[in-house]
Structure 1
Amino acid sequence: MEGRGNHDAVEMKRVEALSIERGEVLKSPQKLEDEYGTTTAHAVDQDSWEQVGLMLVTSFNCAYVLSFSNLMLVPLGWAWGLACLVVIGVYAFYGNWLLAGLHFVDGQRFIRYRDLMGYVFGRKMYYLTWFLQFMTLLLGNMGFILLGGKALKEINSEFSDSPMRLQLFIAATGLVYFIFAYFVPTMSDMRNYLATSAILTVIYDVAILVIVIKDGKSNKTKDYRIHGSQADKVFNAFGAVAAILVCNTSGLLPEIQSTLRKPAVANMRKALTMQFTVGLAIYYGVSIAGYWAYGASVSEYLPNQLSGPKWAIVLINSTAFLQSIVSQHMFCVPIHEALDTRYQRLEEGMFSKYNLFRRFCCRVFLFGFNSFVTALFPFMGDFVNLFGSFTLFPLTFVFPSMVFIKIRGKIARREQKIWHWMNIILSSLLSIVTTAAAVRLIINNVKIYHFFADT
């Protein structure tokens, strides 16, 4: 443990700079790199593109895929659903590809998205990006906690006629996530768990597909019609568009890219290619198979609907829960990094007594708060739709095009500028509409469910 601490201490001393988070503002123009960039309690420049690619594939193939048949395809149907899967998948790949190329601006490397936006557009955009990112990550983590709680409750239901309340399993999930985040503090430290995560992913994906295909063949009364009033159909369709975006992007690409060895841009694009080929084929495949088997009646949580056998249901929920422990960490690490950089002693190792205590307090507060809010509002679909609408559209499509126009507008071709302005306008409109759809869904669920509902 002591050797690990010394290694981390050397790594943190290697990136000596100041940070907006630490409240230190530099006036010298020669020190913009210090102000915007490289101080961090976590390691940078350590990981291979294969490691990051595997992390992306497994993280996006998390337990969330068990709800995507219902969230993405039921509101859209076959024609629109498949069309949106393809178009948004390609568009998300392009948006992330573009953002990966903006990792260096004016010779300065940006290891955080908010630092990039602050450097190009000023402090207001820094704080706006900070807000959008952290809202995405917080709501996403709550969604993970809820999914983990659902998985544990399903296991309990297989062995008991009177299963315990969902809130108990939500608390247990939050505790397990806290323990993992405490002892595996950084994104690079996930490397030792990615192989296990990949094996777990294969197990529950294969088990689900086998049962779903069997159920689909025996289901002779599939209904693929889109139900509800005209207003419901329209709003639910836009909610589905937001859900499709969620399964393809994270809003934290610069933070992930910071862990890569040089050349960071080329390596990030290789990792993205792995995510949008191997990874996308898997989670799209499970989603499409679920909708094919059960039609419009497919469950919000797919294992609820599987015909069995009992051991297979337990296996699917167990492996999905265990895999989520690793995958949720990627989406929460930027919050951990901000807190660690702010409150730990950077001259000491991550595992010094002082930093261990500070990290314990930060992780307890974060997961305690998220678990409480999740237990209070256990509406699974809302988490996906909400943070996919008003945060990920700007972070994935709007902001990268804004940066491109700002820094390359004078030398870019006219058609390039028109293309990026179209991205900004169209994505902004989609963000507004999908946010309205997500808020409408939340209002409807608040009418149906009470606080601490045992869904």
Structure 2
Amino acid sequence: MASSLDAEAAAGQEDKAGSGYTTAATAHQVDTDSWQQVGVLLVVGFNCAYVLSFSNLMMAPLGWGWGITCLLLIGAAAWYANWLLAGLHVIDGQRFIRYRDLMGFVFGRKMYYITWFLQFITLLLGNMGFILLGGRALKAIHAEFSSSHTPARLQWFIAATGFIYFAFAYFVPTISAMRNWLATSAALTVAYDVALLAILIKDGKSHKQKKDYSVHGTQAEKVFGAFGAVAAILVCNTSGLLPEIQSTLRKPVVSNMRRALLLQYTAGAAVYYGISVAGYWAYGAAVSEYLPSQLSGPSWATVLINATAFLQSIVSQHLFTVPIHEALDTQMQRLEEGMFSRYNLGRRLVARGLVFGGNAFVTALFPFMGDFVNLFGSFVLFPLTFMFPSMVVLKRDDACVY
């Protein structure tokens, strides 16, 4: 597969009319969205059941003191790192719509491929986590209506989730095309958060069981758990694909992206941090890795929470998989034709089928891999979030737009 660097070498760039900068060729839309749209997309994207079930991963291994401290410090550090990266979107009159293009421009072809590999692994693992979440939500809904004493296998629900994610990614192919789904996703997010928080407060006030907030395990287990908690907190705060999201913004791209980030790290973080802390408060160290499975609410509330978790995850997972789709679409489709031409529809069917078919298959084979996905994915996120932007600033401090 040819790289974006090869496309640039072949003069595969276009000058956006009136923009004053050049942009690499892409099958997806660039320079079309407002900062409000992108800000809402970030808020609903990170406020998904996948992230909101992290009480078990973030708080339980650290306890109250260290848990709250790490939430605040890592959130602030991720905000600043992404704020810095947003200022690197345009260098020498060229707009970098892909993270790997930026690193390749500054450091050469080797860094281009390293960045793309790290992004690719992060996004694939994240998508597996979403598929696993969706499968669990569907299974929980099925259990409420089933009279069978033999529970259905999780793998069937994972396969169904993969197919539904595939269909959404096929008919809503780009980040900009998600604008028509933001209101629905926001409504689902609010419904999920309100219902979940109400039952968490009810369970937290219950005196049926004594809550234990101590950190358990051997010293080695505590250290490993603490590293895992820090990694999970990082996953909640950054995506590793900021330039790809920023590429959809209209000018001025730097200040608009920073406005969107402000919305994410204030309104958005207040919700997903608040739910995570509430889950730990309600259940203590015994909090579940999938929060809805631990709720004591009535059957209708369980169905509502799992249904909204599943439906909202359809939009969230798409945001974090789009860079892979964009790479495949740009290579496989005819760029001079529209996204919904007969030729491009056929090519997109193959591309989306490969991504979601492979991810659903691996997730069904290893449905217990949730903790590994979170831990490994977050370690890959560390250089993408903190190291690479600093490297670019040190190399080209004239490129950072303040």
TM-score by length of 1: 0.83
The aligned counterpart of 1:13 is none
Q: Equivalents in 1 of 2:127, 2:260: separation in Å?
A: 23
8 Å contact from structure 1 (residues 141, 370) kept in 2: yes
Where do 5+ consecutive residues of structure 1 fail to align?
A: 1-18, 413-455
**2: distance between equivalents of 1:270 and 1:279?**
13
Q: 2:156 aligns with which of 165, 168, 171?
A: 168
Q: Which of residues 213, 225, 233 is equivalent to 2:214?
A: 225
Aligned equivalent of 1:77: 63
Moved more, 373-382 or 144-153: 373-382
Aligned to 2:19: none
**Contact 1:33/1:108, CA 8 A, preserved across alignment:** no
Q: Which residue of 2 aligns with 1:152?
A: 138
The equivalent residue for 1:282 is: 271
Shift in CA distance, 299/366, structure 1 to aligned 2, threshold 3 Å: same
**Structure 2 CA distance for aligned equivalents of residues 233 and 22 of structure 1:** 44
Partner residue, 1:49 = 35
2:378 alignment partner in structure 1: 388
Q: Note closer, same or farther for the CA distance 1:31–1:298 as it changes in structure 2 (3 Å cut).
A: closer
- State how far apart, in whole Å, the 2-side matches of 1:52 and 1:331 are: 13
Gaps of 5+ in 2: 17-21
Cα distance, 1:230 vs structure 2: 0.4
Give matches, 1:262-281, under 5 Å: 262-281=251-270
Compared CA separation, residues 27 and 52, structure 1 to 2 (3 A) = closer
Q: Which residue of 1 aligns with 2:282?
A: 293
Partners of 1:274 and 1:182 in 2: CA distance: 29
Equivalent residue in structure 2 for 1:208, among 187, 196, 202: 196
- 1:301-340 superposed matches below 5 A: 301-340=290-329
Q: In structure 1, what is the Cα distance between the partners aligned to 2:356 and 2:273?
A: 30
Aligned residues of 2:393 and 2:400 also touching (Cα < 8 A): no
1:62-211 aligned at under 5 Å gives the runs 62-160=48-146, 161-211=149-199
Q: RMSD of aligned C-alpha atoms?
A: 2.1
Alpha-carbon distance in structure 2 between the residues aligned to 1:329 and 1:26 = 30
| Distance across 2 between alignment mates of 1:411 and 1:341 | 28
Q: How many residues align?
A: 391
8 Å CA contact 2:88–2:400 kept in 1: the answer is no
Contact kept in structure 1, 2:5 and 2:101, CA below 8 Å: no
Alignment of 1:12-27 (within 5 A): 20-21=3-4, 23-24=6-7, 26=9
Deviation at 1:143, TM superposition (A): 0.4
What do residues 391-416 of structure 1 show as CA deviations (whole Å, max 9, x unaligned)? 1110000000000000028999xxxx
SS of corresponding position for 2:163: helix
Q: Aligned AA for 1:26?
A: A
Identify which of 399, 406, 410 aligns with 2:395. 406
**Distance of aligned partners of 1:331 and 1:411 in 2 relative to their CA distance in 1, 3 Å threshold:** closer
**Contact 1:141/1:328 (8 A) holds in 2:** yes
| Equivalent residues of 1:207, 1:312 under 8 A apart | yes
**Secondary structure of 2:320 counterpart:** helix
Q: CA deviation at 1:368?
A: 0.2
Percent identity between matched residues is: 69
Which whole-Å deviations, capped at 9, do the CAs of 1:40-76 have from their partners, x for residues lacking one?
A: 0001011000000000000000111342100100100
**Matched AA of 2:64:** W
8 Å Cα contact 1:26/1:32 also seen in 2: no
Residue of structure 2 equivalent to 1:253: 242
For the residue of structure 1 that corresponds to 2:49, the secondary structure is coil
Report the alpha carbon displacement of residue 382 of structure 1 after superposing the two structures with TM: 1.9
Report the Cα distance in structure 2 between the residues aligned to 1:124 and 1:294, rounded to whole angstroms: 47
C-alpha distance in 1, partners of 2:339/2:398? Answer: 42
Flag the 1:138–1:33 CA change in 2: closer, same or farther, 3 A. farther
The farther-off stretch of 215-224 and 310-319 is 215-224
Q: Shift in Å at residue 347 of structure 1? A: 1.0
| Gap change, CA 1:226 and 1:183, over 3 Å in 2 | same
CA drift of 1:25 comes to 5.8
| Paired AA for residue 60 in structure 1 | F
* 1:151–1:321 CA contact under 8 A, matched in 2: yes
Question: TM-score when scaled to structure 2?
Answer: 0.94
Deviates more, 1:57-66 or 1:156-165: 156-165
Decide whether aligned partners of structure 1 residues 170 and 411 sit closer, same or farther in structure 2, where only a CA change above 3 A counts. Answer: closer
Task: Give the Cα separation in 2 of the matches to 1:22 and 1:249.
Answer: 26
Over 3 Å counting, the alpha-carbon distance change for 1:22 and 1:97 in structure 2 is: closer
Residue 157 of structure 1, CA deviation: 1.4
CA distance in 2, matches of 1:33, 1:193: 30
Residue 384 of structure 1: how far off its partner (Å) = 1.4
